[in-house]
């Protein structure tokens, strides 16, 4: 809806004017930001992974049951993410961060593409962890290795195909499923003694540094976001590639509104927007690919993105 109509505006020029007069801007990013980089979502990972429930592949219980299977899943996701490139949306957010001191991005993504696009770390809060963080599974150990892009992180975890023979025992046949659920039947994909151990405590297995289902989100970035929001008026809240249905992400939209923020949604579809579904006349709704829209929205402040950046994700 262009300026002067009812409902949220779709005017790029109007948004640019608001942005130029803004001092504090909050961005909330989801999987849609990375869509143009060619990454599948969790449920779109394909192949044998579709035969597993989330609790099997991404939970503390699943890791205890078969840490090798969980590691192979995340090692494959790491490998696929490293083959992908940050897209112009990632670079536009990073560029705006460098231009605007009061710009903060909250990312629900674990793919590491924002970091690889050069997003200033102090202005990026990853509330679901990262595929490239590795930490100890021992609750009493504080070891964490951040931004480890070694692929694979351990030779035994090398996996470049969903047809890896180590996954055969976890196929979703009735026989295999029955065996997997039987605690008396050995179906682990990699022996625990062969998996990487923590170099600090020498006791716990290393594990992916993402937030497993059922785990609490990391307190440090959550506290930093809450503190940032409470520090003063928020001019704009950008909601990019997410429906913001899950807390605490959904709550940040309401918190920012309470601080005076106008909401700007960038999403491939303009319906079923979760926490931002009730957009007002003074808000914005841009339907389309974030990789195309964000560079245009930010252009007065960041200028033209280099052609090499715009084309990198097509190479």
One of 52, 90, 128, 154 is an active-site residue; which one? Answer: 128
Q: Indicate if 128 belongs to the active site.
A: yes
Reduce the secondary structure of the chain to three states and give it as a string: CCCCCCCCECCHHHHHHHHHCCCCEEEEECHHHHHHHCCCCHHHCCHHHHHCCHHHHCEHHHHHHCHHHHHHHHHHHHHHHHHCCCCHHHHHHHHHHHHCCCEEEEECCCCCHHHHCCCCHHHEEECCEEEEEEEECCCCCCCEECCCCCCCCCHHHCCCCCCCHHHHHHCCCHHHHHHHHCCCCCCCCCCHHHCCECCCCCCCEEEEEECCECCCCCHHHHHHHHHHHHCCCCCEEEEECCCCCCCCHHHHHHHHHHCCCEEEEEECCCCCCHHHCCCCCCCEEEECCHHHHHHHHHHHHHCCCCHHHHHHCCC
List active site positions. 128
């Amino acid at each position: 809806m262009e300026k002067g109509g009812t409902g949220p505006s779709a005017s790029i020029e109007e948004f640019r004017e608001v942005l130029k007069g803004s001092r504090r801007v909050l961005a909330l990013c989801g999987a849609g930001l990375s869509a143009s980089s060619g990454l599948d979502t969790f449920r779109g990972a394909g192949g044998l992974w579709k035969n597993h429930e989330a609790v099997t592949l991404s939970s503390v219980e699943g890791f205890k049951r078969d840490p090798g299977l969980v590691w192979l899943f995340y090692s494959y996701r790491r490998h696929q993410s490293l083959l992908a490139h940050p897209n112009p949306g990632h670079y536009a957010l990073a560029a705006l961060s460098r231009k605007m001191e009061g710009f903060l991005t909250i990312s629900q993504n674990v793919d590491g593409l924002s970091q690889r696009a050069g997003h200033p770390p102090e202005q990026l809060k990853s509330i679901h962890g990262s595929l490239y963080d590795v930490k100890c599974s021992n609750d009493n150990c504080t070891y964490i290795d951040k931004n480890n892009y070694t692929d694979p992180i351990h030779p035994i975890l090398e996996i470049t195909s969903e047809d890896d023979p180590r996954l055969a025992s976890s196929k979703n046949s009735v026989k295999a499923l029955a065996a997997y659920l039987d605690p008396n039947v050995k179906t682990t994909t990699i022996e625990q003694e062969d998996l990487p151990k923590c170099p600090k405590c020498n006791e716990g297995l290393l594990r992916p540094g993402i937030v497993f289902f059922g785990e609490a989100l990391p307190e440090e970035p959550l506290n930093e976001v809450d503190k940032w929001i409470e520090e003063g008026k928020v001019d704009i809240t950008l909601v990019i590639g997410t429906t913001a249905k899950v807390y605490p992400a959904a709550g940040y939209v309401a918190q920012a509104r309470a601080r005076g923020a106008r909401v700007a949604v960038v999403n491939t579809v303009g319906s079923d927007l979760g926490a931002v579904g009730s957009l007002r006349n003074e808000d914005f709704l841009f339907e389309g690919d974030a990789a195309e829209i964000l560079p245009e929205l930010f252009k007065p402040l960041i200028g033209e993105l280099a052609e090499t950046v715009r084309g990198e994700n097509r190479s």
